[in-house]
Amino acid sequence: MLLAAAALCAALGGYWLAQQLDRASPRLASGTWLPQAKALAQFRLTDTSGRPFTRADLGGAPTLVFFGFTHCPEVCPTTLMKLAQVRKRAALGSLRVLFVSIDPQHDSAPLLGTYLHAFDPAFLGLTGEPASILALAADFGVAVNRVRLPGGEYTMDHSAVVFLLDARARIAAIFTPPLEVPALAADLRRAAPYL
**CA–CA separation, 31 and 163 (whole Å):** 9
Please write the tens of the pLDDT for every residue from 150-180. 988 999 999 999 999 999 999 999 999 999 9
What does the mean pLDDT of the chain come to? Answer: 90
- What's the predicted TM-score (pTM) here? 0.87
Rg (CA), the chain: 20
Q: Which residues pair with 157 in a beta bridge?
A: 145
pLDDT at site 195: 93
Assess whether pLDDT exceeds 80 at residue 96.
yes
Please write the tens of the pLDDT for every residue from 33-85. 999 999 999 999 999 999 999 999 999 999 999 999 999 999 999 999 999 99
128-138: string of b/e by CB count within 10 Å (b at 16+)?
beeebbeebbe
How large a percentage of the chain has pLDDT more than 70?
88
Picking from 173, 165, 175, the residue whose alpha carbon sits closest to that of residue 30 is 175
12-26, 50-64, 121-135, 153-167: range with lowest mean pLDDT = 12-26
Could you state, in order of their start, the residue ranges of all structural domains in the chain?
29-194
Q: How far is CA 51 from CA 55, 82, 113, 161, 178, in A?
A: 13, 27, 12, 26, 33
Whether CATH 3.40.640.10 fits 29-194: no
Assess whether pLDDT exceeds 60 at residue 94.
yes
**CA–CA separation, 48 and 63 (whole Å):** 17
Length of the chain: 195
